[in-house]
Amino acid sequence: MAETPIHIPEDINYSCTGCGKCCGEWSVPLTEADYERISEMDWSSKEEFRGKKLFSSLSLHEKEGLPFTHVIVATDEGYCPFLKDHLCMIHAEHGAEAKPQTCQLFPYTFTQTPSGAYATVSMVSLAAMYNVGTPLKDQQDYLRTKLAEYESVMSAHAPDWSHIQLVGGQKLDWPTYLEYEKELLSILKDKSRSLNERLLKGSDFLVSKLDKPQPASEAQDAPLKKLDRHLLSALHKIYLPHKPPTRLEAHFNPFRFVYQYMFEQPVLRLKPRTFTIDELQAVRWPEDDAEVEDMLYRYIYQRIFGKFYFGGGFAQITLITGYHHLILVCALIKLHSKAIACEREATTVSLDDVAETIRLLEKYLGQTHISGYAAAAYELLMFSPQRIRRVLRNT
């Protein structure tokens, strides 16, 4: 069988620093083989595991489209119970190959597409977050072995790219998508403009490809509308929750959104406080801080390069809605980082505020399941180029 081509992102670095952060703040998924192998090991004889539930099975809904059957139950502090003194006990006692497949691959990830596999690294890892280590471009051989591992687990679960659309009813073939992506990434890389300007230019570029042209954008100083605020608040509850959400709370529900719109205040909750968007607007986002802008840029760049934002990469939503959703996520990163800054009584966001926010987002957005109804609501709520402008300029 021919080797799958690997595409590697530019200027993305990663080497493991052994910080142990990858082993926290999520429930590690297990394949059936992982579960059988690890659950058979004798954990109950160890004092720290006595009487503890270490594994939980996934519901049919949670397993849908994935090769996983169980998760490792995190400790009350949110860490994997097998992490001890920054080391994995499974690795230490049974070897690296005994660890869950996800852990053996992490933080590398691959998106399979008609033109090959696109490699990225999850920013849950602190090294990936701060761009520390060897450039991925110099890790080609290692990435090839990781891709083989990935394919052995995920081969039956490749994303479906057969019906991608620019907008509902306007189909897009894969070569044309790749041309659009190339242009989007080149707009994004142009650091002579602010990140906001680049993101909006990317939206203009995609909208210019519509069969039916859109009306001109509204005034630069247009304030947020009630619907914009509620949309930000609803997405914040799901992607940046202040406590682990229940199964019902963890996904976008259009009916709940209508209820929230009619009866609730559009606030952002950050334990133990809530913030209004107006309050957060008073905190400064440091556009002149190259490190902050670069961290946010790398997050967006990797989502586009890895194709985790539309079609087979994200709930089969259309390209324009997927790109606009990414802009809304960027606005949420800014608002949540401002809330963290507020909490520590600072007037300007710091690099660590942004890092904390992106790590939380990586955890929850990666686990969010967007149903067909939710995807339809995303199309309705996020297509508007005017909404994206208002949101980005007011956050």
Q: Which residues bind ligand SF4 (CB under 6 A)?
A: 23, 28, 80, 82-83, 88, 90-91, 99-100, 103
Supply the minimum distance, in Å, between the C-beta of residue 193 and ligand SF4.
40
Nearer Cβ to ligand SF4 (21/198): 21
Pairing of strands 170-171, 29-31: unpaired
Q: How many helices (H) and strands (E) does the chain have?
A: 16, 12
Residue 176: other Cβ atoms inside 10 A: 13
Supply the minimum distance, in Å, between the C-beta of residue 80 and ligand SF4.
3
Supply the minimum distance, in Å, between the C-beta of residue 290 and ligand SF4.
33
Structural tokens at position 151: 């394919």
CA distances (Å), origin 186, targets 138, 140, 294: 22, 23, 15
Q: How far apart are CA 125 and CA 75, in angstroms?
A: 19
Q: How far apart are CA 158 and CA 236, in angstroms?
A: 29
Nearer Cβ to ligand SF4 (101/112): 101
Nearer Cβ to ligand SF4 (121/392): 121
SS3 of residue 253 by DSSP? coil
Supply the minimum distance, in Å, between the C-beta of residue 106 and ligand SF4.
7
Please name which of 325, 328, 301 lies closest in space to residue 374, comparing C-alpha atoms.
325
Q: For residue 367, count CB atoms less than 10 angstroms from its CB and return exposed for 0-12, middle for 13-18, buried for 19 or more.
A: middle
Nearer Cβ to ligand SF4 (90/332): 90
Nearer Cβ to ligand SF4 (99/336): 99
Phi, psi of 326 (to 5 degrees): -65, -35
Supply the minimum distance, in Å, between the C-beta of residue 16 and ligand SF4.
11
Supply the minimum distance, in Å, between the C-beta of residue 366 and ligand SF4.
14
Supply the minimum distance, in Å, between the C-beta of residue 315 and ligand SF4.
26
Nearer Cβ to ligand SF4 (57/276): 57
Nearer Cβ to ligand SF4 (99/229): 99
Task: Look at the chain and count its residues.
Answer: 395
Q: How far apart are CA 81 and CA 74, in angstroms?
A: 6
The CA angle 258-261-262, to the nearest 5 degrees, is: 90
Q: How far apart are CA 360 and CA 124, in angstroms?
A: 8
Supply the minimum distance, in Å, between the C-beta of residue 43 and ligand SF4.
12
Nearer Cβ to ligand SF4 (154/326): 154
Supply the minimum distance, in Å, between the C-beta of residue 88 and ligand SF4.
3
Q: How far apart are CA 306 and CA 109, in angstroms?
A: 9
The position carrying tokens 């967007």 is: 370
Q: How far apart are CA 100 and CA 54, in angstroms?
A: 13
Nearer Cβ to ligand SF4 (152/176): 152
Structural tokens at position 337: 């980082």
Task: Please list the helix, strand and coil fractions of the chain in percent, rounded to the nearest 5, in that order.
Answer: 50, 10, 40
